Amino acid sequence: MKRETISKFYFTQEEIDAAIAAAPNFVNIADDPDCPYDPNDAASVHAYWSKAILTFPGGHPHQDPLWRTKRK
Protein backbone atom coordinates (compact mmCIF):
# COMPACT_ATOMS: atom_id res chain seq x y z
CA MET A 1 0.00 0.00 0.00
CA LYS A 2 1.41 3.35 -1.01
CA ARG A 3 1.31 6.09 1.57
CA GLU A 4 -0.55 9.24 0.72
CA THR A 5 1.02 12.63 1.28
CA ILE A 6 -0.80 14.32 4.13
CA SER A 7 0.82 17.73 3.82
CA LYS A 8 -0.43 20.08 1.16
CA PHE A 9 1.45 22.89 -0.51
CA TYR A 10 0.29 26.33 0.57
CA PHE A 11 1.37 28.06 -2.63
CA THR A 12 1.39 26.99 -6.23
CA GLN A 13 4.58 27.16 -8.25
CA GLU A 14 3.09 30.02 -10.28
CA GLU A 15 2.46 32.04 -7.10
CA ILE A 16 6.02 31.42 -5.93
CA ASP A 17 7.47 32.48 -9.29
CA ALA A 18 5.31 35.63 -9.32
CA ALA A 19 6.42 36.58 -5.80
CA ILE A 20 10.09 36.10 -6.70
CA ALA A 21 9.66 38.16 -9.87
CA ALA A 22 7.93 40.97 -7.95
CA ALA A 23 10.57 41.11 -5.21
CA PRO A 24 13.24 43.81 -5.53
CA ASN A 25 16.83 42.75 -6.12
CA PHE A 26 18.16 45.11 -3.45
CA VAL A 27 16.64 46.74 -0.40
CA ASN A 28 18.35 49.76 1.13
CA ILE A 29 17.97 49.29 4.88
CA ALA A 30 18.68 52.97 5.50
CA ASP A 31 15.37 53.78 3.80
CA ASP A 32 13.46 51.30 5.95
CA PRO A 33 11.19 53.21 8.38
CA ASP A 34 11.11 50.21 10.75
CA CYS A 35 14.88 50.25 11.26
CA PRO A 36 15.63 51.92 14.63
CA TYR A 37 18.94 53.39 13.44
CA ASP A 38 20.87 54.27 10.29
CA PRO A 39 23.32 51.39 9.72
CA ASN A 40 25.57 53.68 7.67
CA ASP A 41 26.08 56.10 10.57
CA ALA A 42 28.60 54.73 13.06
CA ALA A 43 27.46 57.06 15.85
CA SER A 44 23.82 55.98 15.63
CA VAL A 45 24.83 52.31 15.48
CA HIS A 46 26.98 52.71 18.57
CA ALA A 47 24.25 54.63 20.41
CA TYR A 48 21.68 51.94 19.62
CA TRP A 49 23.81 48.93 20.52
CA SER A 50 25.34 50.53 23.62
CA LYS A 51 21.97 49.98 25.34
CA ALA A 52 22.06 46.25 24.61
CA ILE A 53 22.14 43.78 27.48
CA LEU A 54 24.04 40.54 26.97
CA THR A 55 22.30 37.45 28.28
CA PHE A 56 24.46 34.37 28.31
CA PRO A 57 23.03 30.85 28.12
CA GLY A 58 21.39 30.00 31.41
CA GLY A 59 21.45 33.62 32.52
CA HIS A 60 17.86 34.50 31.72
CA PRO A 61 15.57 34.64 34.79
CA HIS A 62 13.21 32.09 33.27
CA GLN A 63 16.07 29.61 32.90
CA ASP A 64 17.00 29.81 36.57
CA PRO A 65 14.84 27.45 38.63
CA LEU A 66 15.61 29.36 41.84
CA TRP A 67 14.89 32.85 40.51
CA ARG A 68 11.96 33.32 42.90
CA THR A 69 14.14 32.70 45.92
CA LYS A 70 16.72 35.28 44.81
CA ARG A 71 14.27 38.18 44.60
CA LYS A 72 14.82 41.06 46.96
CA atoms within 13 A on the CB side of 55: 8
Query: Does the pLDDT value for residue 29 go beyond 80?
Result: no
According to the model, what pLDDT value does residue 64 have? 65
Phi-psi group of 36: left, alpha or beta (phi > 0 → left; psi -120 to 50 → alpha; rest → beta): alpha
The answer to whether the predicted template modeling score (pTM) of the entire model surpasses 0.85 is no
